[in-house]
A and B are shown apart, each in its own frame.
Chain A
Amino acid sequence: MNFDNDQRMRMHKDMLLVRVCEEGIARVYPDQEIRTPTHLGSGQEAVAVGVCAILERDDIAVSHHRGHNHYLAKGGDVYRLIAELYGREDGCAHGRGGSVHLTDRSVGFLASSAIVGQMIAVATGVALSMKMDGLRNIAVSFFGDAACEEGVFYESLNFATIHKLPVLFVCENNLYSTESPMNVRAAEGTTITGRAESLGVISESVDGNDVLVVAEAAQRFASKLRDGGGPMLLECMTYRLREHVGPFRDHELGRSYRTEAEYLEWVERCPIKRSGNQLVADGLASERDLAGWEEDAERMINEAIEKARRADWPKASELFKNVYHPLQILSAK
């Protein structure tokens, strides 16, 4: 294990922040004050936190519709995320983007977008630019298992291999595309890593619910990428604890595509519980410390929610702002 105590505690706290944020949103979401389709990332924290833990500030991450985890793990501002969900001017996209269109360039979180697979190509373009400029930075694309069914996945991986681009493709395999299980989406015996390998992309599948396993693999891949060994794909096996979009658990709503038993199995493999147990076992934290950190995160999220609810709305007079650059002079009236 090559992570020091501070790094391990940092990762745990980052996962707590993501979980508490997502659960806080789930709590207030039924109020109908957050009016943006929201795909909560509870249960998948270790992927975002494990990968982002080993990134540098100028490494660029992009994400998808379930993107709060990556935004927060890369260091994105908590309040500006919550304000975005509330549609306020303080939001990271000033209420123009919503849950699925986040950005915080100050921390290297370029953007998330909702169309499945779309951002894989964008990360590839970021990596192309990095390579052209001779930088040692890397681009990271987070996407789900369904994205590996889109044409743009194959186009991007193929291009990245041809040009040996410094891009880390991170597939969060949570076993379902909305409600469709893997066995209706891929032929038996085929794997996502196998598909990537066939395109020349070095790939590995890891336990995505163990933050240290994810971080170790990402670290190993990233250092090769910085030395020009790219591109690489990391498949992280994980599970979302809540419904595809919205604040509830599937079994609470009587949906049958996933059982409560399966859900409970994955609750047992909760990445935060596992990380906490390891920290206690290794004498790095007490149960009381863990509870205290969780309370800190809760306080932070609750304050962000209260502040966002009181924040200013965007002005209707600024509806057209940023369709084009404000300084570009259009000759058309």
Chain B
Amino acid sequence: MTRDITYAQALSEGLVDSMESDSGIFVTGIAVDYESGIFGTTSEALRRFGKTRVFDAPAMENGLTGIAIGAAAMGKRAVIVHPRNDFMFLAMDELINLASKWRYMYAGNAGGVPFLTRAIVGRGWGQGATHSQSLHAVMSHFPGLYVGMPSTPYDAKEMTMAALRADAPTILFENRALYNDKGAVPEKIDSPRIGGARILREGKDVTIVATSVMVREALTAADALAKEGISAMVVDPRWVRPLDKETLAHAISATGHLVCVDTTWELCGLASEIAALAVEYCFNDLKAPVRRLTFADCPAPVSAPLEDAFYPKASTITRACLMTLGVKSSTDFGQIDSIDDFKGPY
């Protein structure tokens, strides 16, 4: 049965469902057993499985990740939660120098070390330079990890379940701004799996490849473009590693116009990777230069008007699509941007 639930509820369901079928799963990290339960995503797991399987940890991102590796080698599966993924930089050694390479550099003889890192990304409300980055481009650089970015409640559940059945260490980037979004999610998901992009909206004039919270913005842009008589396709890669190049290339070739929108910076970022993919696989189908929309090339500011200028959003995506199509419009698309109703501080 399918019903409408929030992204946060979907994360919780994916976790609880997986913990029910695998008694080796445990959840740890700062604040995971607080009453607030990581914005409600760990509360039900705590209620059902208790403090032996959902327990608080000191501030020790790197050590905790190494502990997840050791526990995984013994057959357990940790869920490490970073309430802000900026702190995950502190775990880079264990994640990159060990977890991602474990199966390969011991040639499978030391087994695999699957565990899930939940990397929560802050956005807006003055989160500022060190609480609003999304490390997905950095983390996807390294072979041996799986990296996903659920953008809808359905994906929040399905990708969590896939991650908790995967054979390799997996990082899921959950944007805090999506937590209250509602969408249709089945009570039971039978065969969750790693990988696979999703076409959220078909279109024939321009292809918008968008990630995470930018998917929502891209869908709003596609509505605005429709009113201008332009048919925009919206594609969500969902998984950055493995990247579903085939679906993306088909989607790009179908329109010949590409706008990539991402939740990190441009240089060496995912938008650039998608642009490279377009050039490598769709060169003869491209009708105009590829456009990238990313964070402004500065650290994230706090003050509201600066923050407003910092992020791509529906109106800037709409304008970028018109530009790549060479279409002029007198519409002021500023009206389409949603009012940020996020209640701070966190």
A317 is an interface residue with CB less than 8 A from chain B: no
| Cβ contact within 8 Å between B195 and A111 | no
Q: Report the minimal beta-carbon distance from A86 to chain B, rounded to whole angstroms.
A: 15
Residues in chain A near residue B70, CB distance under 8 A:
62, 110, 121-129, 139
**Known A93-B107, A101-B105, A132-B76; contact A121-B67, beta-carbon cutoff 8 A:** yes
Q: Is there an interface contact between B246 and A333, defined as CB atoms closer than 8 Å?
A: yes
Q: Report the Cα distance A151→B223, complex, angstroms.
A: 51
C-alpha spacing A155/B90, complex, angstroms: 12
Assuming the contacts A111-B106, A122-B73, A125-B73, asked whether A325 and B167 have C-beta atoms less than 8 A apart, the reply is: yes
A125 and B69 contact, CB distance less than 8 A: yes
Assess the B62–A115 pair: CB atoms within 8 A: no
B94–A118 CB distance below 8 A: yes
Which residues of chain B come closer than 8 Å to A57, judged between CB atoms?
none
A325 partner, pick from B64, B74, B112, B195, beta carbons under 8 A: B112
- A155 touches which of B60, B71, B111, B168 (Cβ 8 Å): B60
Instruction: List the interface of chain A (C-beta within 8 A of B).
Output: 60, 62, 91-97, 101, 103-105, 110-111, 113, 115, 118-130, 132-133, 139, 151-152, 155-156, 158-159, 162, 321-333
Question: What are 7 of the A-B contact pairs (CB < 8 Å)?
Answer: A104-B109, A110-B73, A118-B66, A128-B76, A129-B76, A322-B103, A324-B167
Q: Is B20 in the interface zone, CB < 8 Å from A?
A: no
The interface residues of chain B lying within 8 Å CB-to-CB of A93 are: 105-107, 109
Write out the residue numbers on chain B whose beta carbons fall within 8 Å of the beta carbon of A115: 93, 97-98
Please give, as numbers and ranges, the residues of chain B lying within 8 Å of A103 by CB-CB distance.
Answer: 106, 109-110
Contact A125:B68 (CB < 8 A) given known A92-B109, A118-B98, A324-B144:
yes
Distance to closest chain A CB from B262 (angstroms)? 18
Does the CB pair B143–A159 fall under 8 Å?
no
Residue from B58, B62, B143, B242 in contact with A158 in the complex, judged by beta carbons closer than 8 Å: B58
Contact B107 A97 (CB under 8 A): yes
Complex-state Cα separation, A332 to B248, whole angstroms: 10
Residue numbers in B under 8 Å from A331 (CB-CB): 193-196, 242, 244
The minimal Cβ–Cβ distance linking A302 to chain B, given in whole angstroms, is: 25
Within 8 A of A (CB), among B100-153: 102-112, 143-144
| Interchain CB contact under 8 A, B63 and A156 | yes
Q: How far is the CA of A272 from the CA of B105 in the complex (A)?
A: 33
> Could you say which of A93, A123, A127, A321 has the most chain B C-beta atoms within 10 Å of its C-beta?
A93
Chain B neighbourhood of A128, CB < 8 A: 67, 70-71, 76
Q: Contacts A92-B109, A162-B58, A331-B196 known; A124 to B67 CB distance under 8 Å?
A: yes
CA distance A162 to B74 in the complex (A): 20
A316 smallest CB distance to B (angstroms): 15
CA distance A88 to B287 in the complex (A): 50
Residue B245 interfacial (CB < 8 Å): yes
Q: Which of the listed residues A96, A125, A139, A322 has the most CB atoms from chain B within 10 Å of its own CB?
A: A125
Contact A330 B58 (CB under 8 A): no
B66 A124 Cβ-Cβ under 8 A: yes
- Provide the residues of chain A in CB contact with B58, threshold 8 Å: 155, 158-159, 162
- Shortest CB–CB separation between residue A11 and chain B, in angstroms? 27
The answer to whether the Cβ of B166 comes within 8 Å of any Cβ in the partner chain is: yes
The answer to whether A328 and B97 touch across the interface, beta carbons within 8 angstroms, is: no
Asked if A129 and B98 sit within 8 Å, CB to CB, the answer is no
- Chain B's closest residue to A141 (CB) is B70
- Report the minimum CB–CB distance from A67 to chain B (whole Å): 12
List of B residues within 8 angstroms of A321 by Cβ: 107-108
Tell me the smallest distance from the CB of A117 to a CB of chain B, in Å. Answer: 9
Q: Flag whether B72 is at the interface (Cβ < 8 A).
A: yes
Chain B nearest CB, measured from A121 CB (Å): 2
Q: Which residues of B contact A91 (CB under 8 A)?
A: 107
Closest to B143 in A: A323
Max count, chain B CB within 10 A of own CB: residue among A95, A126, A324: A324
Q: Are B168 and A325 in contact (CB under 8 A)?
A: yes
Given contacts A105-B109, A115-B97, A121-B94, contact A151 B69 (CB under 8 A): no
Q: Is B239 an interface residue (CB 8 A)?
A: yes
Of A95, A122, A155, A330, the contact of B195 (CB 8 Å cutoff) = A330
* Closest Cβ neighbor of A165 among chain B residues: B67
Assuming the contacts A129-B76, A328-B166, A331-B195, asked whether A159 and B106 have C-beta atoms less than 8 A apart, the reply is no
Of B73, B111, B168, which one neighbours A328 at CB under 8 angstroms? Answer: B168
Q: Which residues of A contact B69 (CB under 8 A)?
A: 121-122, 125
Q: Is the CB of A324 within 8 A of B66?
A: no
Q: How far is the CA of A104 from the CA of B107 in the complex (A)?
A: 11
Which residue of the partner chain A has the closest CB to B102? A111
Question: What is the bound-complex CA distance between A219 and B297, given in angstroms?
Answer: 58
B residues near A101, Cβ cutoff 8 Å? 105-106
Chain B CB within 10 Å, residue with most, of A91, A96, A327? A96
Instruction: A94-B107, A110-B70, A123-B70 given; name 10 further pairs at CB < 8 Å.
Output: A101-B105, A125-B67, A125-B72, A127-B70, A129-B75, A328-B166, A328-B167, A331-B196, A331-B242, A332-B246
Binary CB contact string for chain B from 10 to 32 against chain A (1 if under 8 A, 0 otherwise)? 00000000000000001000000
Question: Who on chain B is nearest to A124 by CB?
Answer: B67
In the complex, the answer to whether A329 meets B144 with C-beta atoms within 8 Å is no
The answer to whether the Cβ of B264 comes within 8 Å of any Cβ in the partner chain is no
Contact A105 B111 (CB under 8 A): yes
CB distance from A57 to the nearest CB of B (A): 15
CA distance A322 to B144 in the complex (A): 9
- On chain A, the residues within 8 Å of B74 by CB distance are 60, 125-126, 129-130, 133
Of chain B, the residue at the smallest CB distance from A111 is: B110
A92 to B243, CA, bound (A): 32
